[in-house]
Amino acid sequence: MIRRAPLVLGNKTYETITKDIASLLESFPGPGFFAGLAGAQFLLLIFLLAQGMIVWFGMGMMGVNSPVGWGTDIITFVFWIGIGHAGTLISAILFLFRQKWRTSIARSAEAMTVFAVMTAGLFPILHTGRPWLAYWLLPYPNQRGPLWVNFRSPLVWDVFAVSTYATVSAVFWYIGMVPDLATIRDRAQNKWRKRIYGALSLGWRGTARNWNHYEMVYMLLAGLSTPLVLSVHSIVSFDFAVATLPGWHTTIFPPYFVAGAIFSGFAMVVTLMAIIRELVPVFKDYITLDHMENMNKIIMATGLMVGYAYGSEFFIAWYSGVEYEQYIFLNRAFGPYGWSYWIMVTCNVIIPQLFWFKYVRRSIPLMFIISIFVNIGMWFERFVITITSLHRDFLPSSWGMWAPTIYDLGALFGSFGLFFTLFLIYIRLLPAISIAEVKPVLYVGRDGGNHGHH
């Protein structure tokens, strides 16, 4: 008989699960953590400096100009939003599919979603050049008529999609955390600790009647988040696809963007989980090699979908018979930005093929390196879509080139500082693995369990 692999290693009991996960919040961090935090904050300072200069002196600090009006800000926005999608996939879609292995990674994946969306959200606001007027993006009653936003514009759809996504993800994450915060409160020895976590836990006590409603709401939020996450990257792709620009104006964009988002997001989850496993050795019992292997399989599957989309785009460009469309794709692969196209293909299509080998799927150093390549490749995918389509469209007289300035690079690399600062602080202040969700799957795949009726 084929038995299920255990989801939690090391003969844990409910009590040791609580201790293992809470220990991270109840001990003083070591030098490794502070070294990581210092590195992240250094990058965060670069981000603040670069964006501060851009806001103060204007968008001229960045490389965008005619004809390439969308640069680093838009590329990096799509990149971070895509990262967030894997978190929702793990927390919502795998929940609906009853994938029990998701329980130990769901919390941190959701945190990744929230922080990635926060990072992403800054970019279009800063791209407007006048972020202090960002509220103009919302349909609020104003003294100009009121003049409403244009609801026919994909950019307005994006405002609704991203802000709804940010709100629902944050609420889903927080509601999932409430019982665990109560656990931390009940373990607290210090008065302030008890007060702070007591307030955060909303006074949750885990009565059967409360759990009954709680589980229902969790399922409802999963059910609502699933179409939501698919809509968000579809709508992000509409930002491009609704324009008539060759290379953007394609019907394949929504599924292609969603697959790419999940692909890049799972790569980021693998990156983060590999780091967490090193920082917190006890978590290796919860985030096992089986978990990592499952995620690597998803990376491989979505990577193949993305590779198929690259091929399909070329075929349709040729098959359409439209000369602009044909030119733009040849220019993508062999024009002045051809190098970026081949970085994208190498990182997203070729390198993930190593995951066909079980040894690679279960090797932490190799999967870490591959996940970094996928992240690089997915940034370049958005680069290719944005820059190569804009820089040469219909009239050769309006062609041009784009190059990043040092402020572009500061905004891009600095955004990792913002993301990692938030993430590192999160793993020390909030339960990084769901205590209440791991306990019910404790006996999955265990020998001689009289508990095995779940």
Partner 1 sequence: MDIIDKLISVARGKSRRGVAGIWLDEHKLVDAARKTRAAGFTKFEAITPFPLHDIDDAMGIPRSFIPWVTFIFGLTGFAFGTWFTWWASSVDWPINIGGKPMWSLPAFIPVMFECTILFGALSSVGALIAICGLPKVDPPVIDPDLSSHKFALWVPEDDTGYNAAKVEQLFRELGANEVKQAEF
Binding site for partner 1 (CB under 8 A): 13-15, 18, 139, 145-152, 154, 156-157, 160-161, 164, 167-168, 171-172, 175, 179, 182-183, 185-187, 195, 198-199, 202-217, 220-221, 224-225, 227-228, 231, 235, 238, 435-437, 439-440, 451, 454
Output 182 or 292, the one with its CB closest to partner 1.
182
Identity of the residue, 187 or 428, whose beta carbon is nearer to partner 1 in the bound complex: 187
**Residue nearer to partner 1 on the CB measure, 238 or 423:** 238
Long-range contacts of 226-232 (CB under 8 A, 24+ apart): 226/88, 226/92, 226/93, 226/96, 228/88, 228/164, 228/165, 228/168, 229/85, 229/88, 229/89, 229/92, 229/93, 229/165, 230/258, 231/161, 232/81, 232/85, 232/161, 232/162, 232/164, 232/165
We find the least distance from the C-beta atom of residue 220 to partner 1, in angstroms, to be 5
Q: Considering the complex, what minimum distance in angstroms separates the CB of residue 409 from partner 1?
A: 33
Q: Which is nearer to partner 1, 146 or 396 (CB)?
A: 146
CB of 224 to partner 1, least distance (A): 5
Report the residue count for the chain: 454
Instruction: Label residue 70 left, alpha or beta by phi (over 0 means left) and psi (-120 to 50 means alpha).
Output: beta
Which residue type is seen at 147? L
Helix, strand or coil for residue 215? helix
In terms of CB distance, is 158 or 293 closer to partner 1?
158
Could you tell me if 136 and 214 are in contact, meaning their C-beta atoms sit under 8 angstroms apart?
Answer: no
Min dist CB 132 to partner 1, Å, is 24
What residue has token string 């759990």?
211
Q: What is the closest distance, in whole angstroms, from the C-beta atom of residue 19 to partner 1 in the complex? A: 8
Residue 9, phi then psi, degrees to nearest 5? -95, 165
Q: Which helix (H) or strand (E) holds 275?
A: helix 253-279
CA distances from 151 to 12, 146, 343, 362 (A): 54, 14, 37, 48
User: Quick one: how far is CA 245 from the chain centroid?
Assistant: 27
- Shortest Å distance, C-beta 239 to partner 1: 11
Give least dist CB 174 to partner 1, A.
9
- Smaller CB separation from partner 1, 175 or 282: 175
Residue found by looking up tokens 């290693």 in the block:
9
Q: Which is nearer to partner 1, 163 or 405 (CB)?
A: 163
Calculate the alpha carbon distances from 90 to 35, 95, 198, 402 in Å. Answer: 29, 7, 28, 37
Q: Which is nearer to partner 1, 221 or 412 (CB)?
A: 221
- Please, what is the minimum distance in Å from the beta carbon of residue 243 to partner 1? 12
Separation of alpha carbons 53 and 47, rounded Å: 10
